[in-house]
Structure formats: C-alpha cells, structure tokens
Structure 1
Amino acid sequence: MEFDAESFRLLADSSSNGWLVHDAKSKSILWANRTACEEFGYTVEELRSLKAHHMSSQDPRYRRSMGTAWLQAAVVYGSNKRLWKYANRDGDEFMTDAVATLVTLPGTGADDDGPADVILVEFRVLHEADVVPDSSKWVEDSLDRLMLHTSSGMMLLDRDYRVEDVSPFAAKLLGSSVEEMLGQRLDELADIDTPLDDMFIVAEMSKPDGAVTVRMKVSSDSGEVRWLAGILDNVVLDGSCIRVLTVRDISSKVEWERRNAYQEKNLQYMSRYNAMGDMAMILAHDLGQPIAAATNYLDGVRRRLRVSHRESEDLEYGLGQARSQLERVSDIVTSVKKYVRRIENVSTVVDLNDAVEESLYFVRLRAEDKGVEVITDLCAGRPTIVGESVLIGQVIINICVNAIDEIALPTTEEKYMVVSTEMTDDAASVVVRDRGRGMSRAPADMLAAGAFSSKSDGSGIGLVICEHIVQRHGGNITYESNDPRGTAVRISFPLSSP
C-alpha cells in the first residue's frame, strides 16, 4: 500500500498525544492533529493565527521568550525535551511533557521547490493523577532533572550580550541564580574561548540568521571548574531579532580530551623511545654495507695510485662510487635523526616504483659480485604511499640482499631474482622472488621474529628491523612459497590519498 498524505493525517489524528508543527524559522504554527485541537479548543486554522502568548501559561516560567528559546534549541540540537504549561481557549492551563524535534520535509519550501525545516512538538497532557500536590515545586525540580539529562540551558541576550532572560537550568550550569544573572554580560559570567568583540563573532552575529559556537569555562568559589558548550543564534521573531544561547555541560568531554591529549603525548614519547632502539639496530646493521663498499672502492683507488700507469677514468669511477656510498651513509643517519621525532613530521608522498629503482642500484652492486641477475617488473601507474623514502629503501635493500645471499649458494641452480611492484585499490606492494631453498626449515610467521637466517653468521635481526619499519608505515611483510620453489617476500603499504 502507498502511504499518502491522507494516511499520514489519519495516523496523526489517531495519536493520543498532541502534535503541533511549527515553522523552524518563524516558530509559527503550521498544523496540529486532532488531539492538539481538542486540548486547546481551537481549529487548525485558528491555531495558525495564534501567537505563543495566547496559548501558553501566564506563569513567568513559561513566557513566550522561553518557549522560543526551547524551540530554537531543538533547531540547534535536533531534539529538545521539557515540561511546558499551555493554556486553552477558556484560559484553563494544563501541564504537558513535551518533546520538540527538528524534521526536514521534502518539497515544502518556497514554491514547493525544495525541502523545509519544521519543528514537531509532541506533547502528553499531565493530569492531576500525574502531578503531586505541590505542583509548583514539582514542576521546577522535574524541569531541572529532565533538562539535566535530555536538554539544554537557555539564555536570551540583547545586542550587547547582556542577559535578558535565562532558564533556571542555565543559571544552575553557570553557578548562579536567575536574578543574579539578569543584566550581566555573558563574558562577565564565564571565560569565553573567543572574545565577544572578535571580528569573526561580530561579523557573524550581524547577519539576521547568524550563529556561532562558543566554549565557556565557569569557575566556582570552591575552585570547581565546569566547561560549557554554547551555540549563539540570531532568531527572527515577528520582525524583531533576538539572540538565543543554548548551553550544555561538556565537563566530562573536556576531561576526556585532556586525558586523551596526555595519552597521545605519552604514546608519542614511547614511540620515539622505542624507535631509538630500532635505530640503534639500523645503524649497527645497515651502515655496514655502504661503509664496507666505500672502503673497498677507496682501497682500489689507493692500489691504482701505487702503479705508474694511472687511469684517470678508473680513479674517478672509484672515487665517485665511494662518494655515493658515503652519501648513502649520510642519508641513513639523517633518516635516523628524523625517525625518532614525531613520525608525521617526516612523512612524504613516495612513488614506490621510484623507491625500488633507487634501491636496486645498490642491490645490483651486490648481485654482480655474487653472479646474480636482477629482473624487474614494475607496475603501470604511480603506486604512491606516505612514508620516509630512505627507510623504505633500506627495507627493500635488506630483503633483496637476503635473497641474493640465498641465490648465491651452490645449491641454488637458477641464479636470478625478480623484483616487482603491484597495486590494488588500497595497497601498493614490492614482491621479491627467488628460486632458493624456500621456507621448509622455518614457519613463515617466525621469520620476522628472528628465528630464521640463511647466513652462517646471521641472526635474522635485519628482518626484525624491516618489519618494525614497515609496521610504522602502516604496512606489513608476508613470506610465501614461490612456485615452483623458493620464497616470495611481499612488502605492502597503504596507498596514499589522491
């Protein structure tokens, strides 16, 4: 069955609760269901022409300004609940438990060309059986209790931000009374995070529909501190503009933010502290390769200088290679210094293909000495990741060197390795494959724990360093069997955002 407008009207008229639909901007009544019309003694057409003070109690606690602030709080927060006392056609007053809810109706805006916001007020009449004999005090206590859990304190301010009206709950939040607050400026009652004469607030509140968010700190005489979040709105009503401030207690939220900030700071400290241990291993493990290579090149230059026929090209080549290796040492040391700081400050966008190409320069030097061929297969596109390029390069070099040492063994017949890059929807990977002995001697999940090393003098510590680095970049290393034999090491990182 189709649920049309007539079906909705029948459903609403069947409700035992009264429904009042207000325009979100003007707060005027647009529609009412049968129960509401019967309680007020007016038809829908008559209710539309009424003002708030015609249908509310004469009790100062239910004056028109507070009703407007109550409805505006529903506009701000989506829903607002409180006790409200109405008056019917005969002047008889009745107490209700009412909930105001912001609702967006499709196709009801100007000229039916777009959605419009309305406020649905659903109320339940509280009869004598629902109210204790001392109704005045019960209403006040219940109002405070209900607003404490489900709603907000409300204040009406003039253009100089002086309090014209305030709900008892708002006064309680600010540690004062209604009488003491009247006539005082808002910044005299609490410390506001943004001064009221700030250019942004002045500009925003000069607009008819302006609204700003403020955070206030309230200190009591006993030293207790309470934090309030407030939304200050300009509300146009009957051609005049009033300022409504709705406030809520966010002390627990601020305390959580403070603790979270402390924990975050402590985690950063512990991260740097642990990183120092990682870096010490990197310095001991990875600096040895370029330093040894530079020493070999310099020894070669020295030997050539001893002979009479000095080939300048050979000398320049040797010195250039030594310089390149020492620059690599410098890059590693610089990366270590950065790495023990906040990781976010040193991360950049890295093209994984470029990182592989740069690393393979040093890998091929080691491969040539061992008689190993290096085959590359880089994916199309730009597999970009966020990280520290030097550290990522060190991981690639370390994994490749381990593969080279395995391939160089006499038992390995096929003297080549394949280094490829792959890209999926959310990850970029470097895969290093060899045709060596494979992983039959140690489970894959124990490799990075230092339980496996193919070298007679190896400790597996390089794999531990690699895994720490990759994990700090949000990635992982997996070890798989290569078909038909050997090992495939996959280094994966999250793809960077475009």
Structure 2
Amino acid sequence: MHEQPVSLDFSRLFAALQCCVLVHDSVSKDILWANPAACDVLGFTLDELKPLKAPDMSSNAHQYAREIGVDWLQRAADHGSSSIEWCYRSKAGENILTEAIAFRVELAQGPVVMVQFRDIAAEQATRLDLLRTESRLQTFLRNLDEGIVVLDDDARVLYASSSAGSLLHLEAEQLTGGDFTRVCDEESAAALREVLAMTERDGPPTDGQYRLRTADGRKRWFAGRWQYIDIESDLRGLLLLFHDITDRVQVEEEHRRDAQYLNYLARYNAMGDMAMAIAHEVSQPIAAAHNFVAGVRGRLGGGADHEALDWGLKNATLQIDRAAQILSSLRQYVVRLEQSEQLIDLNDIVTDCLYFIDVRARQSEVAVAWLPSTDPLPVRCDKVLIGQVVMNLAFNAIEEMTRWPADRRSVTVSTARNGSLAELTVRDLGQGLTAFPDGLIFDGAFTSKENGSGIGLALSHRIITRHHGTIHAAENSPRGAAFSFALPLLSE
C-alpha cells in the first residue's frame, strides 16, 4: 500500500499538469512561479517569466490592458476567485486566447493568486463557425416557403420553425407546446391523429393534404410530408414539412366548376333542342284544333239553342290560344346556348323572363313586383345566359318565400343604373343570409334547399364573371336577402 505523497511528490504532480498554471504575488501581482505547461505555451522559461509584467505577455488590445488584468487578479485576492477571457502573448509574439480562472490560495509564507488558463482559440473558432452556421440556417428557415414542425405522439408541438408560424400568421413560440390539431379543421385533425398512430419509426415519408386555420380565422390548404425523426438528446417525434397549396386547390376547383358548367350547358342545350322540337310539333295540332273550333262555331251560327255550346267552344279557343302563347314564349326563349353576345337592354332581358317568373310565382302564391329602371341599360351580353341568371335568382327567392305565411310572400325584381354599371337586384323577405356559411354562397358547395344541388348560384357567378360583371349577396332591409349582379354599361 502506497504512503501519503510528500511535498516533493506534490511538486512533481503539479509540474505534470497539462493545464497551464501561473502563481502571482497577491499584493504586487508579480509572477512567482509557472508550471512547465505554461512555460511551453508562452515560450518563456520560468526565469524569463518572473520579471515580466502584463504588457510584456498580453495582447496589445485595449481590453487586455495592465489595469484590467491587475483588477481581475485583485478580485480573486479579495473574493477567492475570478474568471476572465484573457489573451496572452507568447515570446514569439503570437496571441493566445485563453479562458483564465484566478484563485486565492493560502500558503505557509502567505496568500498567493494562482491562475489556471487554457487555450480556447480553436474552441472560439468552432463556436464562431457554429454561430455563423446557425445564423444562416435561421435566415434560410425564416425565408422558407415551407413550414417545419415536430410533434410528439399526442400532437403536441415540440418544435416550430419561423416559417411555420408565418404560414399560419402566428409566432413560432405560439405554436410550440400547443396541440397542433387546434389549427386543423375537423377532417384534417382526424387525418393527423391517424398519421400519428400509423407512422412507422423507420418507415418511408407519408404525404397528405390538410386544411389548417390561420390566426385570422381563414382556412387554407397545405400539402404536408410526414417523417419520424430521432435526433439523439435533442428531438424525437413526427416531423411535418408543409407548404401552402390554396391557390392550386382553388385552380383545381375552378376547373371542376368549369367541367360542371360545360356539362350543364350540354344538358341545357339538349333540353333546348327537345323543347324546340316539342314546340314545333305541338304548335301544328294546336293551330289545327283552333281552326276546327273556329269552323264549328261558324257552322253553328248565332242561334239561341246553341249558346251553351258556343260558350264552351269560345273558352276552348281561349285555352288553345293560351297554349299557343306558352309555346311561342318557349320557342323565343329556348335557343342553342352558343356564346352569342349582342347589344340589348337589361330591362328587355328581364321582361322576356317575367312570364316564366310569374308562372312559378303563381304556383307558389308569391307576389312578384317588377320595378324597371327608367333609364336605358344597354349591355353587351349573351341574352339567354343572362336571362338564366335572372330566373335563377328569382326562382330562388320565390322558393324561399314558400316557407313563410302567405301575407308575407313577396319578391321584388328591380333594375337601376349605377354609374357605369347596369344593376339587377332580386329581394325577398325570408330568413336572409344566415343559412349561408361565409364564403360558400357562390361556390356550388352549399344550398339551403332540401333537394337542391347548389349549382344555380355557382353557375350564375360563372356567367356574370365571364361577362366581366360582379355578383354578390347582402341582407335585405328590413329582412330577407338581396341578390344582385352588375354588368358594364355600353356608352352610346
């Protein structure tokens, strides 16, 4: 068993230290001793070091001035210890950046200040490189179009990049620590939980589309890619990279609506062909029946015995005339839906539609008021398509009024000149726009009718916008809804 080391052994142990050590007088701050490691780093022998002062062995930079060094050593002498970043200068003139710690040590002959220092130049360079790299990464992340979040198994956000916050109009700190499903709509939240439950630790990335809610309440579409990550002693969870694809989704939706619109026009065109054929075929027997009735009445003469028969034939003639009028109106209105623009007054278009509107209104016991503009409203448009919009808005208003008491069933159709625009407005006295979710009135995805498809308003929107006009809905006063569209007026 070894005996306790004697003082000579301690001297040898101290001399073998790889850490650099300088011993200063606690009062004068003169160097009393240095271990071999310090002599090697500074390039001086012990005898050369002893007479040196701070300016002889420190950097010339102002932060390493003698008074600063003396003050540092004095703090250690007064308080027991003090640390500083100090730049020594070697005998060869090389600056050596160090981390230096001074301790007050009580020796037999009195107190001294022992300084331990180590070269940190390499560490400092590495630290600066890391700071530069981190700064670059932060700059890249802030300017990314793609957001980054890491979630744990409970969908709690462990990390969120600045770009993720920007995409959702939040600060990254507002996302961190919260449940990520709170920014998802119901369907996307369910899909997210399914991904969390099914993503394998070493599996391939998973792609999907999600609808997220931004801080201003808007819902936008994002494409996301999931990947499980495990960064030792740092992050472990599900990594989501996501970017905004709302514009792309809207374009796809526009294409889908265009396809629906073209399909509708094809069906409507076929209906027009059939209606024209029926009108042509039926008009001939109606004309013949009218002639036969007229002939019978002529043969009957005016005798009193034939008054009842004459009355019946007279009314039959009136009904035949009414049927002929209906077919005539149908023939004039239903034409092939080719894009055929013409100069026409908006009032004339509404007048042509009034017969069909009145028929629908009488069936539903709804009063329709027509308030035409006293000013001419010349527009260039496809008469049939704009007429279709007029009837869509009027029919919707009439159908809404069927749900209310008979004394309240009123619809008003009006036109007016508004600056450079010709406006048409259809007003009802129903429940207003409360049944229409924000932003869904004209997108074809919503209808308040029990058996409706929701396509009428969407088609109306497409027709008006393609004619360079605008269409909108507002609350009516004192109650109900007001649907309007405006088309550019033509100058004389």
Which TM-score applies when normalising by structure 1?
0.38
Which TM-score applies when normalising by structure 2?
0.38
